[in-house]
Amino acid sequence: MTALKNDLLLRALRGEQVERPPVWMMRQAGRYLPDYIKLREKYDFFTRCQTPELATEITLQPIDQVGVDAAIIFSDILVIPQAMGVEVLMEEGKGPLLPKTIKTKQDIDALNTANAEDHLKYVMDALALTKKELNGRVPLIGFAGAPWTLLCYMIEGKGSKTWDKAKQFAYTQPELAHQLLQKITDITIDYLKAQVKAGADTVQVFDSWAGSLSPADFKAFAQPYLLQISDAVKDDAPVILFPKGTWYALKDLSQSSASGIGIDWSIEPKLARELTNNAITIQGNFDPAKLLAPIPQIKQWVKEMIDGFGTQRYIANLGHGITPNVPVDHAKAFVEAVKSYKA
């Protein structure tokens, strides 16, 4: 194992003293980078995910070009439904399509939850290769989609603004919903443990659609499975939970086994600190749309954000993934502003 030259992220997750907050950006390996677009024109989405050399190249691009403090493996949350036997198509510019949705108990019974490591060997190969290529420059983040978010896609069959079908399924057939959520949880735990074994220094669980639920429903259909994953993986590597749009769950989640919690821009830093009682490292919460503002303005906003959170137990990040229309020099300015922060 090569010693890490920059372990800011891991120290922040452990609650250790850091000289400045670490910074990375969700979706940092992707559509805003010209070099990524060149690869996208040559190879379709799942070819990019499933070819370890391509996934590694894409993962490394923002380290070299934007200067972030961590790499996050280039992959997709929908590789888990694929490993479970569900067909997933990716249409450029349109997002995912799952032609055969889950409707019945038979559909759920038929889902595979064994051998995640074998089915997703290409992710492990990409992690191992990336780890080697990074040569200790920065930590490597692995990730998975959260059970509720994956249920949303598996029931709905595609993206949605409201997730009506998924919610209807959960509310009218709660037993089946919990059976599906548990199956997804089981394979996800195996998958994340395998990622750590392959080289991930920490893992993040993306619950992108958790905010579609009320606080009571989040507690029923999302939180228990996030906690199960965190409890199962915490001894292997630090776990970051990112249930977007659920500021109301911060108090509960701050008392969990997770090391970090991602938040979006719908909550003030001060309130996030109060709700978590400074018991957990907070990650976030810059609105990616603000990266389109003039660079001096971005720098000012970054300073205000870090002033709000403080420099300790904090990871500077966006409140959601970077959008394709962000100029690379604006992304760089965001990272630079964090690195040069002075209180």
Residue 208, annotated as binding a ligand: yes
Residue 27, annotated as binding a ligand: yes
The answer to whether the CB of 323 falls within 8 A of the CB of 8 is no
Beta pairing class for 260-262 and 202-207: unpaired
Other C-beta atoms lying within 10 Å of the C-beta of residue 109: 9
Residue 76, annotated as binding a ligand: yes
Residue 207, annotated as binding a ligand: no
Contacts of 279 (CB under 8 A, 6+ apart): 254, 255
164-173 CB contacts, 8 Å cutoff, 24+ apart: 165/101, 166/209, 166/212, 167/212, 167/213, 167/217, 170/217, 170/221, 171/217
Q: What is the torsion angle, in degrees rounded to the nearest 10, for the CA atoms of residue 97, residue 100, residue 101 and residue 103?
A: 170
C-alpha–C-alpha distance, residues 100 and 123, integer Å? 24
Residue 30, annotated as binding a ligand: yes
Using alpha carbons, select from 236, 162, 231 the residue that is nearest to residue 199.
236
What is the radius of gyration, based on Cα positions, of the chain?
19
The answer to whether the CB of 139 falls within 8 A of the CB of 70 is yes
DSSP label at 158?
B
Residue that the structure tokens 């009571």 belong to: 216
Residue 312, annotated as binding a ligand: no
Residue 74, annotated as binding a ligand: no
Residue 67, annotated as binding a ligand: no
Q: What are phi and psi of 237, to 5 degrees?
A: -165, 160
Residue 256, annotated as binding a ligand: no
The answer to whether the CB of 82 falls within 8 A of the CB of 118 is no
Which residues form the catalytic set? 27, 31, 40, 76, 153
Residue 46, annotated as binding a ligand: yes
Q: Which residues are annotated as part of the binding site?
A: 27-31, 46, 76, 153, 208, 320
Q: Which residues are annotated as part of the binding site for substrate?
A: 27-31, 46, 76, 153, 208, 320
